């Protein structure tokens, strides 16, 4: 789900930049970065869990 949000936010960011919606583009960029951070955190946690098995 985090990767999906990241991909969709990137598409939205491109559209917002085309429309010169700078404030909204900044928010969308933050969303994109947050989704990447969530993905990395989950990946690490899942790797740890698999290592414990």
* Mean confidence (pLDDT) of the chain: 94
* 29 within a domain of the structure (yes/no): yes
* The two structure tokens encoding residue 7: 């991909």
pLDDT in tens, 20-30: 999 999 999 99
Q: Is the dihedral of CA 47, 49, 51, 53 positive or negative?
A: negative
pTM, to two decimals: 0.83
Residue 7 counted as domain residue: yes
Please state the domain count of the chain. Answer: 1
C-alpha distances (whole Å) from 14 to each of 8, 19, 48 are 10, 9, 35
Q: Does residue 10 contact residue 22 with C-beta atoms inside 8 Å?
A: no
Residue 10's CATH number: 1.10.287
Answer whether 8's CB lies under 8 Å from 36's CB.
no
- Per this entry, what is the length of the chain? 53
């Amino acid at each position: 789900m985090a990767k999906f949000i990241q991909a969709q936010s990137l598409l939205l960011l491109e559209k917002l930049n085309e429309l010169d919606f700078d404030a909204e583009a900044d928010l969308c960029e933050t969303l994109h970065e947050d989704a990447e951070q969530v993905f990395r955190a989950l990946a690490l946690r899942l790797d740890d869990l698999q290592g414990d098995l």
